[in-house]
Structure 1
Amino acid sequence: MYRPAAFQEDNVDKLIAFMKANSFATLVSILDGVPYASHVPLVIAMAGDTVKLIGHLAKQNPQSQALDTELLAIFTGAHAYISPTLYEKHESVPTWNYIAVHAYGIPKVIILNESPESMNQMINEMIDTYEVDYKSHWHSLSDEFREGMMNGIVGFEITVTRLEGKYKLSQNRSQVEQYNVSSTLLQSSDPAAHAVGVQIKQNLEANEY
């Protein structure tokens, strides 16, 4: 990911918090020599100092057959157009503010008939993350139904080997311009633009101390 110095964010705790808050990710791999992407919910977990991404793909998804090489998981949040009229210098250009985190790693494949314990653990972690109250319902289903569902997916656990964060929040502009951008976005009726305004404001306040 292109990360000019002003926008680089390498605080792992901050990146993990963002990933957890925006865990519906884009999973990218190379399939037959071309990029292939799926959009999936992921569980972000820690094993000591190691970040793990846990999830699954439908077995019929061609990408489930491309889990033997490095994968890229892209996490994105709110984004907003930034008008050049908010800058002090007349000769300025439009841009876009956003936050993105890229996580790279090698997956470990989880298949029911090869590792039923790992498959059950993956399912339970997904349920605990996204709807803990569903767990009793899931376990009340017949073994035949649950096995059929689990046989239809390929689970994975990605050990993250590289984590890149980009917080593009007008940090390359003057403080006055950053306040102009933030206050304008905070007045927007667009929830995404308002959220970016909040992020810029928080970033400004954090750098005041």
Structure 2
Amino acid sequence: MYRPTAFQEDNVDKLVSFMRTNSFATLVSIVDGIPCASHIPLVVTLQEDVVKLIGHLAKQNPQWQAFDAAESLAIFTGAHAYISPSLYEKHESVPTWNYIAVHAYGIPKIITFNDTPETMDNMIDEMIDTYEADYKLHWHGLSDGFREGMMNGIIGFEMTVTRLEGKYKLSQNRSQTEQQNVSKALLQSPDAATRAVGAEMKQNLETNN
């Protein structure tokens, strides 16, 4: 990811927090020389400075064939907003876009029910705990045949993140006055996503001042 110095963010705790908040990610792999992407929820864990991603694909999805051998990329994005040049002090300015994105790279390790049923069970439980803890009792109350059929229809994976890149493009390359002007304008927008970017800018200004 292209990351000019002003927009680089490398604080792992901050990036993990963002990833968890925006955990419906885009997972990209190369299958037979062709880029392949899936949009899936991921569980993000951090233990002793090691970030791991847990998720699964439908067995019929060919993307999992790239796992175990080649690097994949998980892309996490949040709110984004158009920035009008009218918010800048100089007349000769151009439009841009503000956003936050995190890229996580690693080699996904395949988890299947046939090979490692206990690991698959743990993976499903962890996803349920993350997204709907109240569903766990329901899940374990289903018949063994139904649950095993569901788990045989997916390919689970765990990806240890070997490279983590964060980009917080929040007008840090502009003067403080311009950053404040942009933030205030975004916070007044009727669009919730635009207001969210304004709030991120406001927080970033307060943190760095």
In the alignment, is residue 144 of structure 1 matched against residue 145 of structure 2?
A: yes
> What SS is found at the alignment partner of 1:132?
coil
Alignment of 1:22-171 (within 5 A): 22-68=22-68, 69-171=70-172
> What SS is found at the alignment partner of 2:97?
strand
Q: Take 1:201 and 1:129, find their aligned partners in 2: how far apart are those partners?
A: 29
> What SS is found at the alignment partner of 1:90?
coil
Q: Take 1:44 and 1:178, find their aligned partners in 2: how far apart are those partners?
A: 31
The letter of the residue matching 1:142 is S
Deviations 1:30-74 (A, max 9, x none): 011011100000000123221000000000011121213111000
The letter of the residue matching 1:136 is L
The letter of the residue matching 1:112 is F
Q: Take 1:154 and 1:202, find their aligned partners in 2: how far apart are those partners?
A: 40
RMSD (Å) for aligned C-alpha atoms: 0.6
> What SS is found at the alignment partner of 1:85?
helix
Deviations 1:105-133 (A, max 9, x none): 01110010100011000000000000000
- Structure 2, unmatched stretches of 5+, are none
> What SS is found at the alignment partner of 2:134?
helix
Which residue does the alignment assign to 2:181? Answer: 180
Q: Take 2:86 and 2:31, find their aligned partners in 1: how far apart are those partners?
A: 44
Q: Take 1:46 and 1:87, find their aligned partners in 2: how far apart are those partners?
A: 39
- Structure 1, unmatched stretches of 5+, are none
Q: State the 4+ residue runs in structure 1 displaced beyond 4 angstroms.
A: none
Which residue does the alignment assign to 1:207? Answer: 208
Q: Take 1:87 and 1:43, find their aligned partners in 2: how far apart are those partners?
A: 40
> What SS is found at the alignment partner of 2:73?
strand
> What SS is found at the alignment partner of 1:3?
coil
Q: Take 2:102 and 2:85, find their aligned partners in 1: how far apart are those partners?
A: 26
TM-score (norm 2): 0.99
Which residue does the alignment assign to 2:21? Answer: 21
Q: Take 1:186 and 1:21, find their aligned partners in 2: how far apart are those partners?
A: 20
TM-score (norm 1): 0.99
- Give the fraction of aligned pairs with identical amino acids, expressed as a percent: 77
Contact kept in structure 1, 2:104 and 2:164, CA below 8 Å = yes
> What SS is found at the alignment partner of 1:157?
strand
Q: Take 2:111 and 2:39, find their aligned partners in 1: how far apart are those partners?
A: 18
The letter of the residue matching 2:184 is S
The letter of the residue matching 2:26 is T
Which residue does the alignment assign to 2:12? Answer: 12
Q: Take 2:164 and 2:4, find their aligned partners in 1: how far apart are those partners?
A: 16
Contact kept in structure 1, 2:16 and 2:46, CA below 8 Å = no
Q: Take 1:134 and 1:163, find their aligned partners in 2: how far apart are those partners?
A: 32
Bigger mean CA deviation after superposition, 197-206 or 62-71? 62-71
